[in-house]
Structures are given as C-alpha cells and as structure tokens.
C-alpha cells in the first residue's frame, strides 16, 4: 500500500523529538516514532488491538542529505506487516 499524499504531508511536519505519537487518520490508527530532530522515521498504520499494538503495515523513512547535512530528499519504504 502506498502512502497517500495527505498522510505524507502530515508526516512531513516536525513533532516532539524522540517520542512515539499516535493519531487517527481516515479510519486508520497511525503511530510513528520520531528521531532526535522531531522527524517521523518509523510508521505503523492499521488497526489497534486490545493491547494497543497496531496490526497492519510498517514503514521506515530514509533521508538523503547533502554535504552540509541538509535534507534534500526523503522517502518512505514499506518494510512489511506489523503485528
């Protein structure tokens, strides 16, 4: 499943650094982990079970940086099922 443009726009924002954030998005439960700069880097999307874990899909984010460390490109990779 490819991430929608709307979800990617939401994930391009900066959040609280080094934390796990949970939201609802278009009928799905979404949780993501942020890095030390507040960028979402690991994403879980699907349905939460009774224990609070998301059963669905897991994505990771890859950043391309230039010589100065500035991000010039990033993309999300599907890593498989999340249980």
pLDDT confidence tier of residue 1, bands split at 50, 70 and 90: low
Domain that holds residue 53: 5-82
pLDDT confidence tier of residue 82, bands split at 50, 70 and 90: confident
Task: Please give the Cα distance from 54 to 49 (Å, whole number).
Answer: 6
The tally of domains found in the chain comes to 1
Neighbours of 81 (CB within 10 A): 10
pTM of the model: 0.88
């Amino acid at each position: 499943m490819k991430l929608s443009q709307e979800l990617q726009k939401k994930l391009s924002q900066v959040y609280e650094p080094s934390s796990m954030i949970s939201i609802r998005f278009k009928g799905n439960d979404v949780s993501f982990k942020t890095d030390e700069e507040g960028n979402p880097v690991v994403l879980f999307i699907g349905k939460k079970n009774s224990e609070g874990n998301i059963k669905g899909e897991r994505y990771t984010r890859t950043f391309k940086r230039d010589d100065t460390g500035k991000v010039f490109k990033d993309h999300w990779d599907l890593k498989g099922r999340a249980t």
